[in-house]
Structures are given as structure tokens and as C-alpha cells.
Homo-oligomer: A and B are copies of this chain.
Amino acid sequence: MTVIEPRFDDLIHAPTRLALVSLLTAAEWADFKFLRDQTALSDSALSKQLTTLEDAGYIEIRKSFVGKRPRTSARLTPAGRNAFAAHVAALQQIVSRAGLEITP
């Protein structure tokens, strides 16, 4: 059992990328359209954010074909999954410092 050390990550913290990464933790490969619809981002905005996350090493992008149509999918890399978990731990620390109860 590995201990996740809290680490606040500015790249992940930004609202749009937080949403993206959280969507990706749930799924394996998620495709462009799905991410665009879930996040309500424009094609160009999504494309840019995916590139940013890819450059950071947090996601992997796969380009395949479905029939003859191109399909772009993304999934978290282990590094991305880790960074997200570490960021969540950091948020948790902030929140618990605040003395708020969290009851799901």
C-alpha cells in the first residue's frame, strides 16, 4: 500500500483541467467528443488543454480510426493518476485544516 503525499498541483487545480482529469480517472480511454460534451468546452479549448496535459505527462493521447473516421482518445498516465491523487490529498489537507466535516 503506497502512501500518497499531498502535493498541490496548479496544473490540475485549474477548473477545466480538474474536470477533465476527474473525468479521466473514472474511465479508461475517453474520446474527444465525450470530454468536450461533459466539460462544455469548445473544440479548440479542449484540444489545447489536452495538449497541455499531455506535455505535462499526465495523459496519453491515442489516435485511431473508427471505420474511416479519425477518433482521438485520452487516458491518464500513471503519473497523471498520481498527481491527481496527490492534489486531492492536498485539498483534503486544506479542508481538514479548516475543521469542516465531510460526510458523503
Which residues of the partner chain B approach A84 to less than 8 Å between Cβ atoms? 98, 100
- Inter-chain contact A95/B22, CB cutoff 8 Å: yes
| Chain multiplicity (copies) | 2
Which residues of the partner chain B approach A55 to less than 8 Å between Cβ atoms? none
Instruction: Say which residue of B8, B22, B99, B101 sits within 8 Å of A98 (CB atoms).
Output: B22
Which residues of the partner chain B approach A21 to less than 8 Å between Cβ atoms? 98
- Inter-chain contact B102/A92, CB cutoff 8 Å: yes
Q: Which of A43-95 contact B (CB under 8 A)?
A: 84-85, 88, 91-92, 94-95
Q: Which of A1-54 contact B (CB under 8 A)?
A: 8, 10, 13, 15, 18-19, 21-23, 25-26
Q: List 24 A-B contacts (CB under 8 A).
A: A8-B15, A10-B15, A13-B15, A19-B94, A22-B98, A23-B97, A23-B98, A25-B98, A25-B100, A26-B97, A26-B98, A26-B99, A84-B100, A85-B100, A88-B95, A88-B100, A91-B91, A91-B95, A92-B102, A92-B104, A95-B104, A96-B104, A101-B104, A102-B102
